[in-house]
Amino acid sequence: MTATIKMLSAAAASQLDRDLMSFGAFSIDQLMELAGLSVAQALYKLQQPDPDRKTNIAILCGTGNNAGDGLRLCTQLEALGVPFKNQLAEVIDPANYIIDALFGFNFSGPVREPFPCVIEAMEKTLKPILSVDVPSSWDVDNGPPNKGVGKDFYPTALISLTAPKPCFKFLPKTSRHFLGGRFVSPDILKKYGLELPKYPGYEQVVEITGLELNNTRDDEN
């Protein structure tokens, strides 16, 4: 694949979400459902080559829109009788994989209570972690904080939604990077100058490791 993928700043990403609801005729619920499906498919790819083995997945959700991508799956699981835990250790210790859906691309400033202990647990664990859009505690443009909570947090994989954000370039080379945005219309792609890779078959995500990324931020759009 040879597509050049443009990175979106926080401002451009927020505007793109609004455009999806206007030009793309999506509701916020529909966008969260599509994003949640992308997250689920990315996690499935992380499980390969043994995707059918019994797996415990910890989904860590905050209070914003990014958490909605995790909560869509949680709501369905609750209806199916999947148990929920109140203690962090009860969630992380038995998990084979962790989905980091605490914060979104609008996060800024220091991590506030009750989230520091959650970020610290992700820093220390050896379990594979899939972060949604932006690793929690990271600045969307400038990556991990220089000090304090989150400075040592580097996820196993990242699932970018609609388009990668500039913080992607701070990921270790060992981290995998998926893109979920098949639902973005041609008109919006043209407006933001986005050239995205083709999604094979019925896939909602594509791995973009090895593709050329354009580091230009697009605040002016």
Could you write out the three-class secondary structure of 7-32? Answer: CCCHHHHHHHHHHHHHCCCCCHHHHH
**Would you list the domain boundaries of the chain?**
4-214
Beta carbons within 8 Å of 115's beta carbon, 6+ residues apart = 62, 102, 103, 136
Q: Are 6 and 216 in contact (CB under 8 A)?
A: yes
**Mean of per-residue pLDDT scores for the chain:** 81
Apex 9 CA angle, 63 and 169, nearest 5: 95
Q: How far is CA 70 from CA 2, 16, 158, 169, in A?
A: 31, 20, 14, 24
* pLDDT score, position 113: 86
Output the pTM of the full model: 0.84
Instruction: Give tens-digit pLDDT for 191-218.
Output: 888 887 888 899 999 998 654 444 434 4
Instruction: Give tens-digit pLDDT for 92-134.
Output: 998 999 999 988 777 777 888 889 999 999 999 999 999 999 9
Name the pLDDT band for 89 (thresholds 50, 70, 90): confident
220 pLDDT above the threshold of 50: no
Q: Does 209 or 35 have the greater pLDDT score?
A: 35
Q: Which residue has the tokens 């499980």?
A: 47
Domain boundaries 4-214, CATH class: alpha beta
Determine the length of the chain.
221
Per-residue pLDDT, averaged over 30-44, amounts to 89
Instruction: Give tens-digit pLDDT for 135-171.
Output: 999 998 889 999 999 999 999 999 999 888 888 889 9
Using a pLDDT cut of 70, give the percent of the chain over it: 81
Q: What is the distance between the alpha carbons of residues 219 and 197, in angstroms, rounded to a whole number?
A: 22
Beta carbons within 8 Å of 196's beta carbon, 6+ residues apart = 3, 5, 163, 179, 181, 184, 189
In three-state secondary structure terms, 54 is: coil
* pLDDT score, position 63: 67
Between strands 212-214 and 205-207, the pairing is unpaired
* pLDDT score, position 53: 67
Q: Does 5 or 164 have the greater pLDDT score?
A: 164
CA-closest candidate to residue 164, choices 188, 132, 137, 191:
132
